[in-house]
Amino acid sequence: MQDYIANRDGTKLFLQVDSPEDPRAVVVIVHGLCEHCGRYDHLADRLNWEGFSVYRFDHRGHGRSGGKRVYYDQWDEISNDVYDVVQLAKSENPGKKLVVLGHSMGGYAVTCFATRFPGEADAIVLSGALTRYHHRLAGDLPIAAPADMYVPNALGEGVCSDPNVIQAYIEDPLVAKEMSIGLLNSIYAGIQYLRENAARFEAPVLILHGANDGLVSPQDSIDLYNSISSKDKGLCIYPLLCHEIFNEPVKDKVIDDVIFWMKERV
């Protein structure tokens, strides 16, 4: 099922729901910067096969969603959107437990969500999550430039070791080719919030990262793991894997790890 939902400020978010009959639990997938939820078809298919209902949405300003292109005005907008989709998923699946899974900027969004709204998810899974900005890919933040100025979406090295994935990303018309200064500065503000409020993160969490990630340093995940107050937390840094661990040639092993972890908790 594909549809549009209006978030709290009226922005229309593109939503896709794929569900098996009588799902064991619900997973909300939150995608990364400049991409869209359609790049997670394989992950959604695997989760459906294992009995999980999957909710996916395009961030505001991304993919098929409304809003100013690849732009955030305030740092909390992205986690507000996650919250709104989570509430929808919970209302449509009463009695079912819920996991929120975020990759890269989506991992940042999910970390902000779990920190700001403790108890709203039963478990969290993070992949290559930008939570500390050790790898200064966009230079020093915040950037002293107009919020509506745009800079290129340059992939760089260490995204994925599969050249077919890289080529498909480049040719994908729904992948944004530029990002705004407003978005980058909003992430900087959100990271400061995460640093100052790490103890508020209490949810069971599995933190995953590729050791050869060229976009987000694995140290981000290590620092997050060491600073949050979750009693049930796991950290796995995969040797040799790049940023997009769900698209690497060994992606099914990574997905197996996620499914095993989730089945023990929901």
Q: Which residues are catalytic?
A: 104, 213, 243
**Closest alpha carbon to 28 in 42, 17, 39:** 17
Residues in the chain: 266
- Burial grade of 262 (CB within 10 A; 0-12, 13-18, 19 or more): buried
**CA distance to 15, 96, 140, per residue, from 25 (Å):** 18, 5, 41
**CA distance to 64, 65, 175, 215, per residue, from 35 (Å):** 10, 11, 5, 14
**Closest alpha carbon to 242 in 255, 251, 233:** 251
Q: How far apart are the first and last CA of the chain?
A: 24
CA distance 180 to 22: 41
